[in-house]
Structure 1
């Protein structure tokens, strides 16, 4: 009874609330009602179609664009190339329609890209910014390398020092415009000085499949010898070999000029023409340096590489910029009294140097041998000042990681750590050893020395490392405060981060 009364009341309320049903409907009334319902269904279908179109538009706007990895030209370990527009890719990524829970997130991302015209990703600790169309990219750069060193055993108390220093404290940037134009700028603030180091712009392009080139103009890092072409953040020891530090133009590691480079699948060649380093002296002509290098990998597989290299340079020195004085590191950078020195030597007219490289790796084991010679020409008919250097280095990764060899540039770069500690792994652990020999001769104040180094490197990930080097050194100078034969030990440690 109660159910009947409730149903009757609901029916009366429905009829009284709808004038069309308050009276007995005619056939025309029913036809009008059917037409109204059909129009409402058509309107609802249009709204559903519009929502589906909006969903597909949002999915396409948030689809990730792929970038082709190309090395930005520099001495520092290997870098990523600018993003390429999706329309230039040989295929488009497959996209799955987003589920209901993903739609709001996609709309937020699409709105952010539409509002800013850019996107951001993270690589090696710093953000990489890309424009929405893939035309522009920008990445900050940074390098922090801190050393501590202690020396003992020398017969001179002045050489038995404990010191600290910043091997590098760099800030910079790199970027691309389109697929061809790129640029890079870095300043170094270490050792209480502000120094412009890398600063260039460049153009790159492909000649044919497997062969490309780039041309860089600006303040350029030398492409000279294996470790001389390796950045300070990528060397397997705390200091480069004596081949890299002594068989070198008088202007040292940098010069302002132009460097075209050609790359193929198994090697590269470069030619550099520069003046002096960046400075504020325009009262006399720059010195001129021409430098070339070629490296070749006759064996190149996933687990093995054979490296061959040759290089050479010729330098013209102008009056007023012709000092040839040398004071070369032999047992540690941050002991200023531990050097091989020539004493004051002026009157140079030019230098010519050349060298060879032979090495490679198989699995976690690598070996590299280098040798070089430099002739410095003196005025007044004096004989050339000759520098000779050679070294043999090697390393073994206990964790099975591959050596960080860069086959594009023929140098070391940042390692690719298989199991970083930040992901629960041990990182990469490397044992290293080196012997090197250096001699200054055919001058009134000759010098010679050698050093043997044992080291351990622990790479926490691809851009963070701890290094320890134990060096036994031997020197024989005939100029300066520390003359005669001397030997001792230097223990050095480093922590380094590269972004």
Structure 2
């Protein structure tokens, strides 16, 4: 056996290892280690090529005949000559073997490229380095380091509304208009267990920081627990704890709108949220949000808030939701009066509100709320109640009440976007997106809201009936239509006395 014949099996073994070993290592090594392995294999192949060339150079030339053949050997010489005549030239044989080696190297490199591409595809689905799109029903990409230690996702939203009101006895309430209700840009990411979120909201000709905080995620008593530090959305009822772009209607319900504290839905501070199997619990301490008018010139209003929810029944078809919240707030000295009047029909029309009557010299307030509802297959229902009591240094305490009953039906069969984990509204997972040739998802929902400020000497009352139709084009885009029949009975302001009318609003939104 010549050195040449011994060398070919070795070369084949190396080529086989080069084609197979990355496939086994793809689940075990990093990209850097894989590149190092590829380079080592290439070096071994080049070395074998040089050895093969050296062997062919020393053994590939034909022997020289020193003397003429004898008569007895003429037949053998003739046979050898015939054999040499039919054999390919030495240089052709060398070229053929070189082509085989080059083809084997190319095949090996193709296999290595396939492994690298497979690793990239694996990263896009959640493992390894790369970018993945559509996390949590959002359209933004998620960039992930090789080991998953670092992540980053740009995010934002655009909400564009058109609204028309008619039927009011006050002509200045019957207006039509459009607005960009919210345009947010920001980003979020993680550094191991640490997280961050920065988001600016452009709305009402102002810029305000919204979700801008640091987080730390860990296990406490065996339960996943997340700590927040910064400006974040409070855990206030089902809709108060939900992003406005995720609730089923264009306005949050009366229970949270009436019951919210001075610092509203956002505030600077710290929060802890603990999640268990079918329950969650949160505690938070908040001061003013960054865009508060009293920040920097007075002591902040300070709010202590707790909320919990529980799913006493939970199965494959749905769950029952029970929840409650409570807060106490020490009001800043910079707040000289409270007269919040949330919109009852459309965010655009500022004239549609129930007069609450101003409370002068407030010192503290406290609120509480209750939640009862659930999800059954593609149906959902939610009842909420909120109460806020305000104390003043110059007047008696005043209580305000808000209640809401709502129900909805996902016509196309998708699960409603209500989370049993957090007790808040999340994205709807669309089965047949319009962007993939489907019809999207359709939802019909209705809600009745009551606003009661009559405990104050000049407080008013109001009620609204909302019918909504939502068309989810995909997981991150939605078209909305709300028809609201409303009535108010105000005691003060420009729109005193009983009044009623209808408001039709439409919204186009993208959340990424």
TM range (shorter): 0.7 to 0.9
Which of residues 436, 441, 454 in structure 2 aligns to 1:423?
A: 436
Whether the 8 Å CA contact 1:453–1:471 is kept in 2: the answer is yes
Q: Does 1:311 align with 2:325?
A: yes
Which of residues 228, 231, 243 in structure 2 aligns to 1:216?
A: 228
Which of residues 387, 393, 414 in structure 1 aligns to 2:400?
A: 387
Q: Does 1:260 align with 2:227?
A: no
What SS does structure 2 have at the residue aligned with 1:405? coil
**What is the number of residues matched between the two proteins?**
426
Q: Does 1:55 align with 2:2?
A: no
How many Å separate the matches in 1 of 2:256 and 2:17?
62
Q: Does 1:121 align with 2:135?
A: no
The aligned runs of 1:271-310 (5 Å cut-off) are 271-279=283-291, 281-310=295-324
Q: Offset at 1:163? A: 1.3
The normalised TM-score by structure 2 is: 0.78
Q: Offset at 1:110? A: 7.0
Task: Find the structure with the greater CA-based Rg.
Answer: 2
> Where does residue 445 of structure 1 map in the other structure?
458
Q: Offset at 1:253? A: 0.7
What SS does structure 2 have at the residue aligned with 1:244? helix
> Where does residue 449 of structure 2 map in the other structure?
436
Which of residues 187, 194, 198 in structure 2 aligns to 1:173?
A: 187
Q: Offset at 1:387? A: 0.6
Q: Does 1:230 align with 2:242?
A: yes
> Deviation digits for residues 127-165 of structure 1, max 9, x if unmatched?
111111221111111111111100000011100010111
Which of residues 447, 465, 488 in structure 2 aligns to 1:475?
A: 488
Q: Does 1:187 align with 2:154?
A: no
Q: Alpha carbons of 1:107 and 1:435: their partners in 2 closer, same or farther (altered >3 Å)?
A: closer
Q: Does 1:159 align with 2:126?
A: no
Whether the 8 Å CA contact 1:113–1:132 is kept in 2: the answer is no
The more displaced of 145-154 and 183-192 is 183-192
> Where does residue 84 of structure 2 map in the other structure?
none
> Deviation digits for residues 16-55 of structure 1, max 9, x if unmatched?
xxxxxxxxxxxxxxxxxx54434xx32x444444444443
Whether the 8 Å CA contact 1:147–1:495 is kept in 2: the answer is yes
Q: Alpha carbons of 1:122 and 1:61: their partners in 2 closer, same or farther (altered >3 Å)?
A: farther
What SS does structure 1 have at the residue aligned with 2:240? helix
What SS does structure 2 have at the residue aligned with 1:282? coil
Q: Alpha carbons of 1:323 and 1:46: their partners in 2 closer, same or farther (altered >3 Å)?
A: farther
Q: Alpha carbons of 1:317 and 1:397: their partners in 2 closer, same or farther (altered >3 Å)?
A: same
Q: Does 1:37 align with 2:37?
A: no
Q: Offset at 1:181? A: 1.4
What SS does structure 1 have at the residue aligned with 2:507? strand
How many Å separate the matches in 1 of 2:221 and 2:432?
37
Q: Alpha carbons of 1:109 and 1:400: their partners in 2 closer, same or farther (altered >3 Å)?
A: closer
Q: Offset at 1:441? A: 2.7
Whether the 8 Å CA contact 1:396–1:430 is kept in 2: the answer is yes
What SS does structure 1 have at the residue aligned with 2:260? coil
Whether the 8 Å CA contact 2:239–2:247 is kept in 1: the answer is yes
Q: Does 1:456 align with 2:476?
A: no
Q: Does 1:133 align with 2:147?
A: yes
The more displaced of 484-493 and 316-325 is 316-325
What SS does structure 2 have at the residue aligned with 1:226? helix
> Deviation digits for residues 357-416 of structure 1, max 9, x if unmatched?
000021111110001111011112x21121111110000111111111111110111011
Gaps of 5+ in 1: 1-33, 66-97
Whether the 8 Å CA contact 1:58–1:110 is kept in 2: the answer is no
More helix by share: 2
Q: Alpha carbons of 1:266 and 1:52: their partners in 2 closer, same or farther (altered >3 Å)?
A: same
RMSD: 2.5
Whether the 8 Å CA contact 2:412–2:441 is kept in 1: the answer is yes
Q: Alpha carbons of 1:171 and 1:355: their partners in 2 closer, same or farther (altered >3 Å)?
A: same
Q: Alpha carbons of 1:113 and 1:470: their partners in 2 closer, same or farther (altered >3 Å)?
A: closer
How many Å separate the matches in 2 of 1:460 and 1:137?
28
Whether the 8 Å CA contact 2:377–2:415 is kept in 1: the answer is yes
